[in-house]
Amino acid sequence: MKVSFFTLMPYSPLPEYPTGWPTPNGLFDPHRSVRCYQETLDAAEMADELGFDWVACAEHHYSSHAMCPSASVMAAALAGRTRSARIAMMGARIPLASPVQLAEEYAMIDNLSGGRLVAGLLRGTPYEYLVSGVPPRESRARFVEAYDLMLETWRNPRPFGWEGRYYRHRTVSAWPRPVQQPLPPVFISGSSRESAVFAAQRRAGIGLAFTTISAAAESARVYREEAQTLGWETGPDNVLYQADVYVSDNDEKAFAEIAPHFDYADNVAHPMLRMTSLAGGRGMFGGTGATAARFRNIVAERLTEGLPQRVALGQIFCGGPDSVAAQIRKIRDEVGAGIVNLIFQIGDLPHERMLRSLRLFSTEVLPQIREL
């Protein structure tokens, strides 16, 4: 089992909860922001030293819960603070940017890190399309073309032209190219049926986030079956599962310590989640009726279920070391995931408490799950 330290770069605490989305940037204090970034880099460096396989970041916009508008910038900083862990960009929103420039930036991170890049190529979240100028219904078609253009940019050793529906380039000849040839490991979201099928068609890994155990297991099943139909076999290293995590001395103490910080996180994310539910639930993000229902259901569970219920759903790993190890073992058994992408920075959890959870995980949980 591989483990990843995933940071959203949360800004906390806010002086007041946002009542709408986007979060008003008048609440921003630059002195606090500088501290938050430095704490994130310190924690990532510690995760690398403690034996985590990956350190990961992702692009998000317009919210204090995820202060990373550029995954490339953050990945470069992570590459400079780590020595062994892979740098997982999980990832940039490729339909909302220039795919060729992103291909160059990802390749640059692979070079800066000495070949440690994991390339997460993602479609984005519904609410971010509402302020991008890109119609959400175009997101899947744009994603498919952007994905293929990025991989062609990495693979092709000669200048080439591209005349697509959304992207046109008379000449593409990217410098640098990735260190890892022919490609770095590539992951895309596999949380919907359409995404799982696409990942299998492109022989990419899948990331399962903003989900539940049952929904993730179904997506992983579709992914494996489609891959078999196409003549190749997936393995645990092709499947990533993402969740929050908090470890303390025992279950009772862990739940009591983290509960107010989960409440803070939910209150900060509430307007964003409502927007996600509205956009995704009405089919604005494309996909089948099942995709729209998934957005509604997952958001409803996030906003209404208590901490024990969300642990049972697989949205959070929480408890003493043995309980957290058992929860991750369930993900391996029922989903088939060989990588867990773990969010330790939860809400307004104080930095030292987060580091203690990180240390407990590495010393008490990691040895139990390594051989799964």
Note the pLDDT of residue 271: 80
Q: Which domain does 349 fall in, by range?
A: 2-369
Sign of the CA dihedral with 8 first, then 11, 13, and 18 last:
negative
For residue 26, the 8-state DSSP code is G
Sign of the CA dihedral with 54 first, then 349, 305, and 14 last:
negative
Q: How far apart are CA 100 and CA 134, in angstroms?
A: 18
pTM, rounded to two decimals: 0.94
| 58 and 66 Cβ atoms separated by less than 8 Å | yes
Note the pLDDT of residue 138: 87
User: In the chain, what are the helix, strand and coil shares in percent, each to the nearest 5?
Assistant: 50, 15, 30
Residues of the chain with pLDDT below 70 are 278-303
Note the pLDDT of residue 296: 62
Residue type, 245: V
Q: What does the pLDDT look like over 28-77, one tens digit per residue?
A: 999 999 999 999 999 999 999 999 999 999 998 888 989 999 999 999 99
Q: Label residues 258-293 b or e (16+ Cβ within 10 Å = b).
A: beebbebbbebbbbbbebbbbbbbebbbbbeeebbe
- Where does 88-212 have alpha helices with state H? 99-112, 126-129, 139-155, 193-202
| 296 and 277 Cβ atoms separated by less than 8 Å | yes
Note the pLDDT of residue 278: 67
Count: domains in the chain: 1
CATH number at residue 288: 3.20.20.30
